[in-house]
Amino acid sequence: MATHHTPAQWNNFVAALRQSVKPATGCTEPISLALAAAKAAACLSAAPTQIRCYVSPNLMKNGLGVTVPGTGMTGLPVAAALGAIGGQPDAGLNVLCGVTADDIAAGKAFLASGAVSVEIKEPCSHVLYSEATVYSGDDQATVTICGDHTHVTEISHNGTIIYQDDAITHQGGSDNPFADACARDIYDFATQAPVSMINFMRQAADLNDALAREGMSNPYGLQIGRSLEKQRERGLLSKDLLSDIMIRTSSASDARMGGAQLPAMSNSGSGNQGIAATQPVVVVAEYLQADEEQLIRALTLSHLMAIYIHSQFPPLSALCAATTASMGAAAGIAWLFEGKYEPVAMAISSMIGDITGIICDGASNSCAMKVSSGVSAAYKAVLMAMNQQCVGGNDGIVCTDVDKSIANLCALASLSMQHTDVQIIEIMANKAKSA
pLDDT of residue 435: 64
Q: How far is CA 56 from CA 53, 130, 252, 365, in A?
A: 10, 7, 28, 21
pLDDT of residue 173: 41
pTM of the model: 0.94
CA 201, distance to chain mean position in Å, is 16
Cα end-to-end span (Å), the chain: 52
Q: Check: CB of residue 49 under 8 Å from CB of residue 135.
A: yes
The domains located in the chain, with CATH, are 24-164 (3.30.1330), 173-434 (1.10.4100)
pLDDT of residue 168: 55
Query: Which residues share a beta bridge with 141?
Result: 134, 157
Burial class (CB in 10 A: 0-12, 13-18, 19+), 174: exposed
Q: Tens place of pLDDT for every residue, the chain, 435 residues?
A: 445 567 899 999 999 999 999 999 999 999 999 999 999 999 999 999 999 999 999 999 999 888 999 999 999 999 999 999 999 999 999 999 989 999 999 999 999 999 999 999 999 999 999 999 999 999 999 999 999 999 999 999 999 999 999 765 444 444 789 989 999 999 999 999 999 999 999 999 999 999 999 999 999 999 999 999 999 999 999 999 999 999 999 999 999 999 999 999 999 999 999 999 999 999 999 999 999 999 999 999 999 999 999 999 999 999 999 999 999 999 999 999 999 999 999 999 999 999 999 999 998 999 999 999 999 999 999 999 999 999 999 999 999 999 999 999 999 999 999 999 999 999 988 887 776
pLDDT of residue 62: 92
CA 234, distance to chain mean position in Å, is 33
Please give the Cα distance from 155 to 140 (Å, whole number).
11
Single-letter residue type at 15 = A
Q: How many residues does the chain have?
A: 435
Quickly list DSSP for 385-411: HHTT----TTSTT--SSHHHHHHHHHH
Q: Check: CB of residue 269 under 8 Å from CB of residue 383.
A: no
CA 402, distance to chain mean position in Å, is 23
Instruction: Outline where DSSP puts E strands in 4-44.
Output: 23-24
Please tell me whether residue 195 adopts helix, strand or coil conformation: helix
Sheet of 116-120: strand order equals: 116-120, 50-55, 129-136, 139-146, 152-157, 160-164
Nearest to 245 by CA among 204, 276, 208, 289: 276
pLDDT of residue 64: 86
Quickly list DSSP for 99-151: --HHHHHHHHHHHHTT-EEEEE-SS---SSEEEEEEEETTEEEEEEEESSTT-
Q: Check: CB of residue 31 under 8 Å from CB of residue 261.
A: no
φ and ψ at residue 217, rounded to 5 degrees:
-85, -25
Q: Check: CB of residue 401 under 8 Å from CB of residue 182.
A: no
Q: Check: CB of residue 422 under 8 Å from CB of residue 329.
A: no
Nearest to 273 by CA among 226, 339, 204: 204
